[in-house]
Amino acid sequence: MRILILGGAGLTGPHQVRYALARGHSVTLFNRGRTPLPPDLAGVEQLQGDRAAGDLSALEGRTWDVCIDNPTTLPAWARDATQRLAGKVGRYIFVSTISVYADLGRPVAEDDPLSPYAGSDPYAETMDSLRASGFELYGPLKAASEREVQRRFPAAAAIVRPGLIVGPGDASDRFTYWPVRVRRGGEVLAPGSPHDPVQVIDARDLGEWIVRLAEQGAAGVFNATGPHPGLSFGALLETCRDAIGADATFTWVPAEFLAAQQVAEWTDLPAWVPADGAMAGMMRADIGRALGAGLTFRPLAQTVRDTLAWFDGLPAERRAALRAGLAPQREQAVLAAWKAAQAAR
């Protein structure tokens, strides 16, 4: 196939490119050209443009069998790309998010209602307005973008809704924090209960599966997270410890106490949300459709080890400034407060 990838230089894209090339496909990337490709992909064709400025002229006069749209958040981007590519690509695969669902307090499935957009004009939204909303608009804008793709490609669109994407190259550190922290050893503040569910997907598993979706000519909507069967937070931390031979111990601190200490789920303690909270459904997504369409998972221990190997290759100043998780002093203070509360009972 001839595959056009919008983006392609971020977390998932390079894995898609490698996998597609290995399977005999040709690949063209369209992006701003600001993020360098890994050296092994330097020869891949790149077309340059700026979707924020509405500049997609580099796509003119070209056709592809499938487009994989990785980075679109704004409905205007989806409108412009699908309008430009209608009749020029046979299929359109749009990478959305689990966050599109209106009610994330319960397990979510693909046919559940989506978050409504409450503003006046979704096409007027920008990345600046998204940030100004504290990313509250993220889910509604992704949902509106999905609808734009489905409008232009009613029978030839696949909508992929990933959960937390992890693995080597994840600049958010939302998963990386845990292997790094567990490797440091000692007493680790573990959030909630070891039985709390957690869902993540390795960027390589996601990227490769999306290429296989293109090969299948798949259409429809797919939640894409994992693994299968379900994973608990206790199992995640134990896998981190066992995969790297660390001497860490885990002290489980209830969600209510963490909230009282102003320790935030998802950011201070990344990849975790309370099992009965308003976002609990993010970790209980039904992935039956994706499994039926061939989604597979590499062992979590491999993801842990490969993530650490990638992290260890970063500059020292970057490794010293994790972008998610508790600072050591803050972690110790919360642990001390928990122990004091227990002793006072």
Q: Quick one: 70 and 192 in the same domain?
A: no
Per-residue model confidence (pLDDT) at position 333: 98
pLDDT of residue 249: 98
Using the predicted structure, report yes or no on whether residue 266 has a pLDDT greater than 90. yes
Same domain, 139 and 74: yes
Q: With contact defined as beta carbons under 8 Å apart, do 329 and 273 qualify?
A: no
The two three-digit tokens of residue 10, written as one number: 């971020």
34 and 175 belong to one structural domain: no
Whether 150 and 193 map to the same domain: the answer is no
| 187, 244: one domain | yes
- Most distant CA atoms of the chain, gap in Å: 73
For residue 255, the model assigns a pLDDT of: 97
pLDDT band at 345 (very low <50, low <70, confident <90, very high): confident
Instruction: Supply the range of the domain harboring residue 189.
Output: 167-199+226-283+299-345
- What CATH number did the domain enclosing 14 receive? 3.40.50.720
Q: In what order do the strands lie in the sheet with 220-224?
A: 45-48, 26-31, 2-6, 64-69, 89-95, 157-162, 220-224
H or E stretch at 94: strand 89-95
245-251-256-259 Cα dihedral, nearest 10 degrees: -60
User: Would 213 be classed as within a structural domain?
Assistant: no
- Please write the tens of the pLDDT for every residue from 322-341: 999 999 999 999 999 999 99
Question: For residue 325, is it left (φ>0), alpha (ψ between -120 and 50) or beta?
Answer: left
Q: Give the pLDDT of residue 40.
A: 93
Residue 324 resides in a domain: yes
Phi, then psi, of 246 in degrees rounded to 5? -85, 165
Number of domains observed in the structure of the chain: 2
Q: Is the pLDDT of residue 180 over 90?
A: yes
For the record, the structure tokens of 156 come out as: 């030839």
**Per-residue pLDDT, 201:** 98
Residues 306 and 271 in one domain: yes
Query: Is the same domain home to 81 and 104?
Result: yes
Instruction: With cut-offs at 50, 70 and 90, classify the pLDDT of residue 159.
Output: very high
What is the per-residue pLDDT for 256?
Answer: 97
Averaged over 138-162, what is the pLDDT?
A: 97
Q: Which residues contact 161 (CB under 8 A, 6 or more apart)?
A: 96, 97, 98, 100, 110, 221, 222, 223, 224, 285
**Assigned domain for 216 exists:** no
221 in a structural domain? no
- pTM greater than 0.85: yes
Same domain flag for 267 and 327? yes
Whether 64 has a pLDDT exceeding 90, the answer reads yes
Co-location of 183 and 152 in the same domain? no
138 & 249 share domain: no
Last residue of a domain, which of 134, 162, 190?
A: 162
Collapsing DSSP to helix, strand or coil, 234 comes out as helix
Is residue 102 pLDDT above 90, yes or no? yes
Task: Give the model's pLDDT for residue 290.
Answer: 98
- Co-location of 182 and 304 in the same domain: yes
| Residue-level pLDDT at 156 | 97
Q: What is the spatial distance between Cα 311 and Cα 239, in angstroms, rounded to a whole number? A: 18
Identify the band that residue 193 occupies on the pLDDT scale cut at 50, 70 and 90.
Answer: very high
Question: With 0-12 CB in 10 A as exposed, 13-18 as middle and 19+ as buried, what is 24?
Answer: exposed
With pLDDT > 90 as the criterion, what percentage of the chain qualifies?
97
The pLDDT value recorded for residue 13 is 95
Instruction: Provide mean pLDDT across the span 216-232.
Output: 95
Mean pLDDT confidence for 164-180: 97
Query: Do 318 and 279 share a structural domain?
Result: yes
DSSP string, 174-214: TTTHHHHHHHH-SEEEEES-TT-EE-EEEHHHHHHHHHHHH
- Tell me which of 36 and 210 has the higher pLDDT: 210
Q: Is residue 217 part of a domain?
A: no
Domain end position, chosen among 162, 180, 210: 162
